[in-house]
Structure 1
Amino acid sequence: MQIFIMRHGEAESCFVQDARRNLTEHGREEADTTGQWLSGLLEKVDLVIVSPYNRALQTLDSVCSRLPAAEVMETDDVTPYGEPEQFHHYLGALLSSRSDVQSLLIISHMPFVSSLVDELCDHLYSLLFATAGVAHLDYDPSTNKASLIKQYIP
């Protein structure tokens, strides 16, 4: 199965509460560009797991204007303060019971996105994610491990 781990688009500065930060106009354009790139790879995404922070939800809206999502799950587990190892265990359990999910998009934040790639791949890539950047992984639910296919930078 294919997993796409995406950082939100460019957001406002930190003068407001972190969870309330909105995308800038440039951030919306970045997310739209990434949605267009993803739509070249997929007709739809089976499942999106997204942070409840404003900028992540706004990124989802921009991506979904280009790529339909069959199902969306919002969770605090993928905020900037999420625990990649715990989320990996949750993801393994979720996907083992969901054979209908062949494509997954996770929209989150730094440093979580970088740490999650390392955790899923069991390799220290320590990727730096540009805003609205994506890591494309090939995931094997039988081993609960992934391999990095490529990184997209809008």
Structure 2
Amino acid sequence: MDIYVMRHGQAEMTAQSDRQRQLTARGRGQVQLMAAKLASVITKFDYVLLSPYLRAQQTWDEATGYYQQPTHLETLDELTPHGDAKDVVYFIKQLASDSKVLIVSHLPLVGYIVQELVPSAGAPLFATGGVAHVVTGDENELISLDNPAN
């Protein structure tokens, strides 16, 4: 399975609630840069799994034009900033082993998801708009951790 774990783009600092924080113009640009980079490697995801928070939903909205329509697009309550990485990874492991999966979520969860998949990688820090690529199989491997500035 190819799993791409993405942190949302830069978001405004204040809103009525954390759940309602929107992407800034810079955040939209970060997402577009990263989506363009990824599109040179992958053109379609089988599963896109999104946090219910506005900034994560907007991240996918900004990225969607770079890819074919995913087979499955789901919003998961488990993908909030303090969700449980073990629950997320359990859910992912139920998907077909040859799936291409994009997860759009938040710090610190994105780092913990990578750590749960590849314990030797630790919990990496993600820049806004950053993406980690993990390949699962006999042994899971962190292939790359990229951010829009690289």
- Contact residue 32 and residue 65 of structure 1 kept, 8 A: no
Q: CA RMSD in A?
A: 1.5
Cα distance in 2 for partners of 1:24, 1:56 equals 12
Q: Is the 8 A contact 2:121 2:142 kept in 1?
A: no
The match for 2:11 is 11
Question: Structure 1 residue 122: deviation in Å?
Answer: 2.2
Offset at 1:73? Answer: 0.7
Contact 2:7–2:104 (CA under 8 A) maintained in structure 1: yes
- Report the Cα distance in structure 2 between the residues aligned to 1:14 and 1:136, rounded to whole angstroms: 30
In the superposition, the TM-score normalised over structure 2's length comes to 0.91
Q: 1:111 aligns with which of 105, 108, 111?
A: 108
* Map 1:3-152 → 2, pairs under 5 A: 3-68=3-68, 69-92=70-93, 94-95=94-95, 98=96, 102-140=99-137, 146-152=140-146
Q: Deviations over 1:74-107 (max 9, x none)?
A: 0111110210112222221x21xx35x5210000
Assess if the C-alpha contact under 8 Å between 1:120 and 1:146 holds in 2.
yes
Identity of aligned pairs, percent? Answer: 35
Answer yes or no: is the 8 Å Cα contact 1:36–1:67 preserved in 2: no
Secondary structure, aligned partner of 2:142: strand
State how many pairs are aligned: 147
| Partner Cα distance (2:121, 2:142) in 1 | 11
Instruction: Name the aligned partner's letter for residue 49 of structure 2.
Output: I
Aligned partner of residue 123 in structure 1, secondary structure:
helix
**1:124 Cα deviation (Å)?**
4.6
Contact 1:8 1:108 in 2 (8 A): yes
SS in 2 for 1:65: helix
Aligned amino acid, residue 6 of structure 2: M
C-alpha distance in 2, partners of 1:53/1:12?
A: 13
Secondary structure, counterpart of 1:34 in structure 2? helix
Q: Does 1:153 align with 2:147?
A: yes
CA contact (8 A) 1:12 1:24 kept: yes
**Aligned partner of 1:104: which letter?**
V
Q: Unmatched 5+ residue regions in structure 1?
A: none
Runs in 1 of length 4+ with deviation above 3 angstroms? none
